[in-house]
Amino acid sequence: MRRRPDFDDPDLPLATLFATWPDLVEPFIARKMLCPGCLVAPFHTITDACEEYDLEEDAFRAELRARVAEKL
């Protein structure tokens, strides 16, 4: 049985995030972030994306976390 990745892992690659929780693509697209489908997604994290797009990380993580919780 495969364990689900830890959403709160600061080193969780975006590619893994999108593969595990496909619904999380939507908030990225809504902000016109190019992370879904980006060649760097296997290496970037939520932190990296927030820095790149000048987003407040805690607020963005909270939004993503709420979407993850909806699916549990």
| 8-48 confidence digits (pLDDT tens) | 999 999 999 999 999 999 999 999 999 999 999 999 999 99
Instruction: List the chain domain ranges.
Output: 14-70
| Per-residue model confidence (pLDDT) at position 71 | 76
In 3D, which of 29, 59, 47 has the Cα closest to residue 38?
Answer: 29
Task: Tell me the pLDDT band of 1, cut-offs 50, 70 and 90.
Answer: low
Kindly report the pTM of this predicted structure: 0.92
Residue 32, sorted as left (phi over 0), alpha (psi -120 to 50) or beta, turns out to be left
Scanning the structure block, which residue is given the tokens 């290496």? 43
Scanning the structure block, which residue is given the tokens 């987003």? 55
